[in-house]
């Protein structure tokens, strides 16, 4: 039986915050300890240890933030969609209450997904370490000013890209920025990283799917600065000559699921069709 749950909600959605308070009352009535917070609040990491479940109320951004702050404990995450597409939030509020007794019993399927780690070597100090569920991106800082990125895989030179950026994506992130840059879609439970250049000029423009054990080295050259982005949410300035090593993280993200894993491709097609229809309707 579930004894403690953390409920994290989108910081700017009144509906998500109200639903979080509703869930808090329901769990409390069933003698479950509850911690509730805006997912970006400073006190969130303190809510994670000891929690048997982390409920994320919002959109995919809420889940991505929750996945990072849940390391290294990595309790199961359950996403409730109060946003738009919801690639990572596969339940509606109604779905949640339809499964409430199973949630209390811990009767769910655990789906484990890899994360990506970046170590940034910028000077003599110890490298800065970052972990993401979707991707690590090195990109230009100034519009119209490409960067040069020396890309090596397992110490072997692949290319020196003159480009807008380089994406190193997990299978989870393969339906995000990497896909929009022409990258492949991977099954979310695969264990490979994907390297995808963004607007590469006179260089190999195709994605590379790596072995699980491979390490990518990215060395940036730019007179106008560059940015390292983690899941599109945390931005770190990167100076010219900085070395970034990227590999599969030692941490994982676990999702609590009720749906059959075989539904992934049908749901993906449905969401992409919805996105395409929404884009055309705004045109």
The catalytic residues are 60
Burial 128-160 (b: 16+ CB within 10 A, else e): eebbbbbbbbbbbeeeeebbebebbbeeeebbe
Neighbours of 177 (CB within 10 A): 21
Say which DSSP state 105 is in: H
Say which DSSP state 76 is in: P
The gap between the terminal CA atoms of the chain, to the nearest Å, is: 50
Q: How far apart are CA 62 and CA 17, in angstroms?
A: 12
Residue whose tokens read 């119209």: 144
Please state whether beta strands 234-238 and 243-257 pair in parallel, antiparallel, or not at all (unpaired). unpaired
User: Which of 17, 6, 16, 72 has its CA nearest to residue 44?
Assistant: 6
User: Which of 39, 35, 29 has its CA nearest to residue 79?
Assistant: 39
Residue whose tokens read 């579930």: 2
């Amino acid at each position: 039986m579930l004894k403690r749950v953390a409920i994290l909600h989108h910081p700017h959605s009144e509906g998500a915050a109200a639903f979080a308070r509703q869930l808090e009352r329901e769990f409390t009535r069933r003698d479950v300890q509850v911690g509730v917070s805006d997912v970006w609040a400073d006190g969130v990491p303190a809510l994670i240890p000891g929690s048997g479940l982390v409920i994320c109320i919002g959109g995919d951004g809420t889940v991505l933030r929750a996945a990072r702050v849940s390391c290294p404990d990595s309790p199961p995450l359950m996403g409730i969609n109060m946003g738009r597409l919801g690639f990572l939030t596969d339940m509606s509020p109604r779905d949640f209450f339809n499964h409430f007794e199973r949630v209390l019993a811990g009767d769910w399927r655990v789906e484990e997904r890899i994360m990506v780690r970046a170590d940034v070597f910028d000077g003599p100090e110890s490298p800065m370490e970052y972990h993401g569920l979707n991707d690590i991106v090195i990109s230009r800082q100034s519009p119209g000013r490409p960067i040069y990125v020396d890309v090596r895989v397992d110490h072997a030179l692949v290319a020196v890209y003159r480009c807008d950026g380089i994406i190193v994506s997990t299978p989870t992130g393969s339906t995000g920025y990497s896909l929009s840059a022409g990258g492949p879609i991977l099954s979310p439970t695969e264990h490979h990283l994907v390297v995808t250049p963004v607007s590469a000029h006179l260089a190999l423009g195709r994605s590379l799917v790596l072995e699980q054990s491979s390490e990518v080295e990215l060395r940036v050259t730019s007179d106008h600065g560059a940015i390292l982005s983690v899941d599109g949410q945390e931005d770190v300035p990167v100076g010219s000559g900085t070395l970034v090593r990227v590999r599969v993280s030692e941490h994982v993200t676990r999702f609590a699921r009720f749906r059959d894993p075989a539904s992934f491709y049908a749901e993906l097609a449905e969401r992409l069709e919805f996105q395409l229809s929404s884009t055309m309707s705004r045109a």
